[in-house]
């Protein structure tokens, strides 16, 4: 009898039976099983229940080099910064503490060998990056991300939010001495700043702060990593230019 696809399964069964030494025409049946015939020389590992390790995996975990290589492989493919907890999960490490230890060890290896890559802490996570000295060569290959072009007023406004955030529009304008409603809107469109809440002041105006995209763009682990700056000269004799009422940013 043929199957629905036109094949004859009994022929396959008979062929496997003959190869395995099964009883065919009165011959003794062999102890060899069909799996051993179809896959000669293959070793079948014991079934591992979900969440358990096979003996091979357990042996690998005993070798710190293998664990370090797993972490390196995950970082090579990651397109965004990953937290120590996420890295530990993906690389099957003990915890975030071990992740940090292995990151330091990998960076030591890269430094000693003069490698062009390094693992950096960016935007609350870790990411493998190329050293800045090699940026011109990457640019020739077109592997650098598109540059984010910001005008001087936008960069100044972004700097105020980065250093003073969470900050209201009125405070940004008091520091810069000019109206900043439109600039804040443009920075939000570029995902460099966000509305993080409302002030307790009269009218409860919006408060602005930077985003993870900002930290990634400038290669910062957090907002606390910004270099110190003296704001006093910027705030002396500041005057705010008039701007039409904007309910979206003043409410």
> What is the per-residue pLDDT across 175-226, written as a single tens digit (0 to 9) for each?
888 888 889 998 988 888 899 888 888 888 889 998 888 887 777 777 777 8
3-state SS record for 204-240? CCEEEEECHHHHHHHCCCCHHHCCCCCCHHHHCCCCC
The 8-class DSSP code of residue 160 comes to H
Rounded Cα–Cα distance for residues 124 and 155 (Å): 23
Among 69-73, 156-160, 244-248, the minimum mean pLDDT is found in 244-248
Residue ranges, comma separated, of all CATH 1.10.10.10 domains in the chain are 56-141, 152-250
Rounded Cα–Cα distance for residues 47 and 179 (Å): 68
- Tell how far CA 206 is from the center of its chain: 30
Rounded Cα–Cα distance for residues 76 and 87 (Å): 12
Q: Which helix (H) or strand (E) holds 85?
A: helix 84-90
CATH architecture of residue range(s) 152-250: Orthogonal Bundle (1.10)
Among 49-63, 94-108, 178-192, the minimum mean pLDDT is found in 49-63
pLDDT above 80 for 19: no
Contact call for residues 153 and 221 (beta carbons, < 8 A): no
State the pTM of this model.
0.48
CATH fold, domain 56-141, is Arc Repressor Mutant, subunit A (1.10.10)
Question: 42-48: long-range contacts at Cβ-Cβ below 8 A with a sequence spacing of 24 or more?
Answer: none
Rounded Cα–Cα distance for residues 162 and 214 (Å): 9
């Amino acid at each position: 009898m043929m199957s629905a696809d036109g094949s004859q399964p009994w022929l396959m069964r008979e062929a496997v039976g003959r190869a395995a030494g099964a009883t065919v025409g009165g011959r003794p049946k062999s102890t060899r099983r069909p799996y051993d015939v179809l896959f000669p020389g293959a070793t079948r590992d014991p079934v591992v229940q979900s969440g358990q390790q096979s003996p091979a995996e357990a042996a690998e975990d005993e070798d710190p080099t293998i664990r370090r290589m797993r972490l390196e492989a995950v970082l090579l493919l990651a397109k965004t910064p990953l937290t120590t907890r996420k890295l530990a999960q993906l690389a099957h490490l003990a915890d975030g503490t071990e992740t940090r230890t292995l990151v330091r060890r990998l960076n030591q290896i890269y430094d000693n060998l003069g490698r062009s890559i390094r693992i950096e802490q960016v935007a609350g996570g870790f990411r493998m990056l190329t050293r800045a000295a090699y940026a011109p060569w990457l640019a020739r290959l077109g592997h650098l991300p598109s540059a984010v072009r910001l005008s001087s007023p936008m960069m100044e406004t972004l700097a105020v939010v980065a250093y003073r955030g969470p900050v209201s529009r009125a405070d940004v304008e008091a520091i810069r001495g000019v109206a900043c409603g439109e600039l804040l809107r443009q920075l939000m469109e570029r995902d460099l700043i966000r509305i993080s809440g409302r002030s307790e002041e009269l009218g409860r105006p919006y408060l602005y702060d930077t985003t993870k995209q900002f930290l990634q763009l400038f290669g910062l682990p957090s907002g606390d990593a910004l270099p110190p700056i003296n704001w006093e000269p910027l705030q002396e004799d500041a005057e705010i230019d008039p701007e039409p009422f904007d309910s979206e940013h003043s409410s």
